[in-house]
Amino acid sequence: MAYLGRQPIVGNYQVLDALTATTTDTYALTKNSVAVFPQTPANCIVSLNGVIQAPYDSYTISGSNIVFASALTASDSIDFITVLGDVLNVGTVSDGTIGLAKLSATGTKDATTFLRGDNTFASAGGTNTPAFMVHKTTSQSVPNATYTKIQFNSVKFDTDNAFDNSTNYRFTVPTGKDGKYLITAQVGFGSILANVYFRLYLNGSAVNYSFLYMSNNTDNAISQTFLRNLSAGDYIEYYVYQASGGSKNIDTSDSTWFGAYKIIE
């Protein structure tokens, strides 16, 4: 392999812990008090009494020990020992040779996370929760020309128990569940001939609405779907308005429902 400029330096270079010469030829090699195992004598640079020693001739390596050709004395000075590690250029890293401990990324490293471009581990995927779906199963009369809250009383599912189906008939965003929510709902009437307005209320104030002129038949329903940013503590509910000239009952079949879920971001 050719390089423009200087060739990159590779290898696990380590300056080992200092050694004090005594009347022996064998010394344990450590780095921060942890044993070091040089691959060969040629992987080491050893300075003794100010002179770089010749590998194999002046010393050998046995496991994590350096063995000098002859015993030293207390007057000798082992100046330093540097271990070069594997200084070969690596063309292709073998499969299964790099462990998680070698990665500098932050976060939890396990089978449920992935490494992101910002060098952090993050959970893959996610769940669209909170999520709920409620229906209307009890009779409710809507007065003429009056916005009336729909009392969705039957819960199909509610992942965070955040929908009140007995008193306020509203969904409240749980703590820590801020985000974008897909909101969908529908209200049905039986036989009716009237203008009908279907309106989403956020924190007690009307926001989005749909309008439909319903003809006098048995398949009248008006629906809507919205995407809104919601914060913890926000609550949403639905109101309906009909101008038939008299009170009308909401259809309690599957044509009247309300649901929402948080979008994964």
Q: Which residues of 53-65 are buried (b: 16+ CB within 10 A; e: fewer)?
A: bebeeebbbeeee
CATH number of 131-262: 2.60.120.40
The percentage of the chain sitting over the pLDDT mark of 90, rounded to a whole number, equals: 65
| Residue 82 token pair | 């540097």
User: What digits encode the pLDDT tens for the residues 9-42?
Assistant: 556 788 999 999 999 999 999 999 999 998 889 9
Instruction: Give the 3-state secondary structure percentages of the chain, helix then strand then coil, rounded to 5.
Output: 0, 45, 55
Give me the residue spans of the domains in the chain: 14-83, 131-262
- Inter-CA distances, 6 with 3, 9, 164, Å: 7, 9, 70
C-alpha–C-alpha distance, residues 151 and 250, integer Å: 10
C-alpha–C-alpha distance, residues 256 and 253, integer Å: 7
| Residue 209 token pair | 């609405």
User: What digits encode the pLDDT tens for the residues 200-226?
Assistant: 999 999 998 898 888 877 678 899 999
pLDDT value for 203: 98
C-alpha–C-alpha distance, residues 150 and 234, integer Å: 18
- Inter-CA distances, 59 with 48, 54, 183, Å: 11, 7, 77
Mean pLDDT of the chain: 88
pLDDT value for 109: 74
Q: What angle do CA 95, 10, 52 make, to 5 degrees?
A: 130
C-alpha–C-alpha distance, residues 160 and 177, integer Å: 10
The ranges of the chain with pLDDT < 70 are: 1-11, 85-97, 99-102, 125, 218
184: β partners? 225, 259
CB-CB contact of 171 with 230 (8 Å): no
pLDDT value for 87: 55
pLDDT value for 89: 52
Strands 59-62 and 65-68: antiparallel
pTM of the shown model: 0.57
